[in-house]
Structure 1
C-alpha cells in the first residue's frame, strides 16, 4: 500500500507532502519559463494539441486514482500526482494563450468529448479486472502520452510549447519505466500498442530521467 512515505528517486524516502511541494515548485518554474515568451497567434494544429493534451493528462490522472483505490499499489498513487502536475503545466499554456480549459469544472472521470469519455471508461474497466490488467493499462496510457507528445512536438515551433511537451515526455518515460518494473515483477506479457515495441523496450531499459 501507499503509506505515510514513498520512495523517491535514488532510494530515499519522501513524504507525500514533500512530493506535493516539489511538484508545485516544478509547475511554478514552468509557468515562469512560459511567461518569458509573447503569446502570439497559434496555428489550429497547435491549439488542438494543447486542448487534447490537457484532457489526455486528465485521463491518466483519473484512471490512476481509480486503480489505486482498487489495488493500492504505489505507482498509481505516486504517478497520479505527477499527472496532476502535467495537467497544471498544460493549463499554464492554455492561460498563456487565453484558450478555454476543456477540463474546467469537470469532476474526476468526466469528459466533454464522447471519445475521451469512452477511452477513460474502457481503461478503468480493464484495469479493475486484475492487478495484472491494471499494470497493462498503465503501460498503455504512458505509451499513448509519449506518442501524442512526440506528435505535438513536430506540430509546433514555439519554444514554450516544446519545453512543456519535452518535460511531460520525460515524465511519461519515467512513468513507463515504473510500470515496466511491475510488469517484470508480475511476469506480465505486454506488447506495445502506440509505440514501436523496440522503442518501448529501449525506454524501459534506460535510466531514470531528472525532471527540472
Structure 2
C-alpha cells in the first residue's frame, strides 16, 4: 500500500510507533497477573492452631499460678504469653484460618486440656512446684516450636515461631533461676540436656515477637 504525500522517513517512523504501541499493549496485559503469595498447607494450618492453644495453655496456667501464689513473675510472663498468642493469631488471620479462643482453662485439643488440668493441680501444691510447672511449659514449648519450624516451608511461620522460641528460652531461664534461688532444681523433660544447658548458660535475649 502506498502512503501518498508522506515522506518515506516519516512513514518508517509512523510504522515503528504503531509497532511499539502493539508491544506495550501486550506487555501491559502480562503485568496484570496477580503477584504470587506464599501458600499455607493443611499441616501449617494445624500447626498454627495447635501453637495458638499451647501458648494459651501457658497464659492460662500462669494466670492461675500468679493468682494462687501472688507471684508477679507469673503474671508478667502471662502478659508475654498473651503477646505470643497474638502473634500466632495474626498469622491465622493473614492466611484466613478460622479459629476461636475458648475461655480461660478450656481447650479444643484434648491433650492440651489434660496437660493444663495436670499442671494447675501440680502447681497448686507449693511455690517450688509452681516454678517447675513454669519451666516444664517453656521446655515443651521450645521443642514443639522447633518441630514445626523444621516441618514448614513457610517463612512467615518460621519467623514468628523462632521469635516465640526466643521468648520461651528467656522464660525458661527465669523460672529455673527463681527455682534455684529457693533451693530447687529442674531437670528437662523435653529438651535434650545439651540444648537445655546451653540455654541456661546464655544471657537474656532480645526477641521480636511481632510478625511483619
TM range, smaller chain = 0.7 to 0.9
Q: Distance in 2 between matches of 1:45 and 1:187?
A: 42
Which of residues 159, 163, 170 is equivalent to 2:166?
170
RMSD between aligned residues: 1.5
CA contact (8 A) 1:64 1:77 kept: yes
CA contact (8 A) 2:57 2:105 kept: yes
Q: Distance in 1 between matches of 2:148 and 2:109?
A: 19
Which of residues 71, 74, 77 is equivalent to 1:73?
71
User: Which residue of the partner structure matches residue 54 of structure 2?
Assistant: 56
Q: CA offsets, 1:139-189, max 9 Å, x none?
A: 100001100111111011221111101110110001001001112101113
User: Which residue of the partner structure matches residue 106 of structure 2?
Assistant: 110
Provide the TM-score with structure 1 as the length reference. 0.78
CA contact (8 A) 1:39 1:97 kept: no
CA contact (8 A) 1:59 1:109 kept: yes
Structure with larger Rg: 2
CA contact (8 A) 2:145 2:161 kept: yes
Once the two structures are TM-superposed, the CA of residue 113 in structure 1 deviates from its matched residue by 2.2
Q: Distance in 1 between matches of 2:51 and 2:181?
A: 30
Once the two structures are TM-superposed, the CA of residue 39 in structure 1 deviates from its matched residue by 5.2
Stretches (4+) displaced over 4 A: none
CA contact (8 A) 2:176 2:186 kept: no
Once the two structures are TM-superposed, the CA of residue 38 in structure 1 deviates from its matched residue by 6.3
Q: How many residues align?
A: 174
Q: Distance in 1 between matches of 2:183 and 2:193?
A: 17
Which of residues 144, 148, 153 is equivalent to 2:149?
153
Question: Where do 5+ consecutive residues of structure 1 fail to align?
Answer: 1-36
Which of residues 181, 188, 194 is equivalent to 1:198?
194
Provide the TM-score with structure 2 as the length reference. 0.78
Question: Where do 5+ consecutive residues of structure 2 fail to align?
Answer: 1-34
Q: Secondary structure at the match of 2:40?
A: coil
Once the two structures are TM-superposed, the CA of residue 194 in structure 1 deviates from its matched residue by 0.6
Q: CA offsets, 1:85-117, max 9 Å, x none?
A: 00000000000110011xx25111011222211
Q: Distance in 2 between matches of 1:181 and 1:189?
A: 9
